Amino acid sequence: MSEDDKRPLSAPESPSGLPTDAFIIERARLENVAKRIHRKMDDYDSYGFTSHQSISLNVFFDLAQEFPELEDLYAICLLIPRMFFDVECDLYLLDSKDGILKRCAYRCLTSPLAESPEPIFPEKPLVSENHFFLPIKGNHELISQLPFTPHGDIIGVLCVHPADKLTEHDRLYFERYANRFGYQLHNRLINNKNKEHVQFIRSLVKDIGHNVIVPNIYFKLYYKRLHSKIDLLDIYERKLERFLRKAGDRLGDLAEDGETLLKDIGYIRDGMADQYKQIFSHYMHTSLFLETLLRRSHFEEGRYVLDKRMCNFKTKVIDPQLERYRPRLLERGIEIDTSLGGVPDAEIEAVADVGLISQVYANLFSNVVKYAREVPDPGAGRTRKFMSYGWEVMRDFFGPGRDGIKLNVFSSGPPMDKEVAVRLFEEGYRADNAKGEYGTGHGLYFIREVVRLHGGIEGYEPTPHGNNFYFILPKEPEPPRPASTAIQSPPGGPGEHPGLPGGDDDGLEASLHTPTP
């Protein structure tokens, strides 16, 4: 190959004539692939395969794509050497269950299977007892996805015999042949594994509907019956009270016992009513999350599918989650302070998936419980832990006529360092302040995924007295876009939204910005 043929690809330019980040990344990708193509061209030049050998490889590739079953691929691997080069092959592969080599045999072979020596598991090609043993290697980058544990990258052995019939050039060809088969085999094994997983998920979805969602509905009936018993207890309490009032002096000393009994009944009723309220609230939240996360459409599409509806965020999302976490907040001594301008008078409505957005708030409130810390309160001359929440309308945030809603959850404590803040929404990342608190680092990543599915953005703001986590959603659904219309970023470009750090207007006042104790 001439040096002119190896010249690097020219980079495309952006419409303005200046390379953008996307164009630079694309150019690097093209150049990397081009280098690999050049190296492969040099490799094949050095192999010097005959036309007969090259045709056999082409036939192998064509048939490997044509026949869908794994066993078909085994047969192709064994028959190509025999029909093109008049040599026999034995194929040994790792078994997915016990991890040992097993021989593949086929009735389509016209001659009986010859006796072979005990299979050798070589790391490099070698000859033993007139058999040429070749390691079959998988794709190193995808080894962990196999349904069994290979020996390094080796997933099997190809044995060609008689070895004395092969020239050095023939052996080089069969080394390349074994490599090509290994990659095809690896992909086919992963494909089969994925098919099994998809089938399992489909079956699981049916089981979830039958064994989880439907039975869960009956709990609501049981709770209603329990509530009716509590109401009945309340009725008997009032009847007893009327009886004691009418009987008066005729009961004598028994009246005092009746009063005690009345108080006991009232105590029991109040306790049952409180327990019922907590259990029913927990049931409603669990039902919402179960039905949202286990929604059939998620499994059918292979991704979260939104069920977006117009809803009142305060009454449908925020208040229920706040009541759920209120006992845990109080237990940790965290005050709920809405005197900071966090909750505006006007309630908000927006289009959202109530179930998924409720889980966003559940994650944010859970983090408040875990990570809120005491800060000085100069006005009271003490330290305290507190949280707040709120929202505000961001005019034209997503473009002309497309307002956004910024929703905030604030907790007191030391502000996070910039190095930590930029990684908060990464999968599995946990900041230093997470030590000693249970968690997986998935919560904020989940928030990011759900918010972006809604067409919004997520973010974090440090303040002098704590940390504000927020997300911004479109107030109205995005209008249909003509096919010819280009997709545009929100005003200011990525990372430069008005009112957010890094934007053109960092001074925009928020309903909850920098709380002052």
Contact, 344 vs 402, CB < 8 A? Answer: no
In this structure, the chain runs to a length of 517
Contact, 497 vs 510, CB < 8 A? Answer: no
In sequence order, the 6+-apart residues with CB closer than 8 A to the CB of 50 are none
Give pLDDT, residue 433.
Answer: 59
Give pLDDT, residue 454.
Answer: 93
d(C-alpha 352, C-alpha 356), whole Å = 8
CATH class of 306-474: alpha beta
Give pLDDT, residue 338.
Answer: 79
162 prior amide bond cis, ω within 30? yes
**What is the mean pLDDT for each group of 10 consecutive residues in the chain (517 residues)?**
53 52 81 88 88 94 91 91 92 71 54 55 86 88 76 86 93 94 89 81 71 70 83 84 76 75 84 83 81 81 85 90 90 86 73 91 93 85 90 91 93 90 83 59 87 94 92 80 41 35 32 37
Give pLDDT, residue 451.
Answer: 95
Give pLDDT, residue 109.
Answer: 45
d(C-alpha 81, C-alpha 170), whole Å = 11
Pick from 229, 243, 139: which is nearest to 191 by CA? Answer: 139
Distances (CA, A) of 469 to 10, 187, 395: 44, 43, 20
pTM over 0.75: no
Q: Are strands 375-377 and 309-312 parallel, antiparallel or unpaired?
A: unpaired
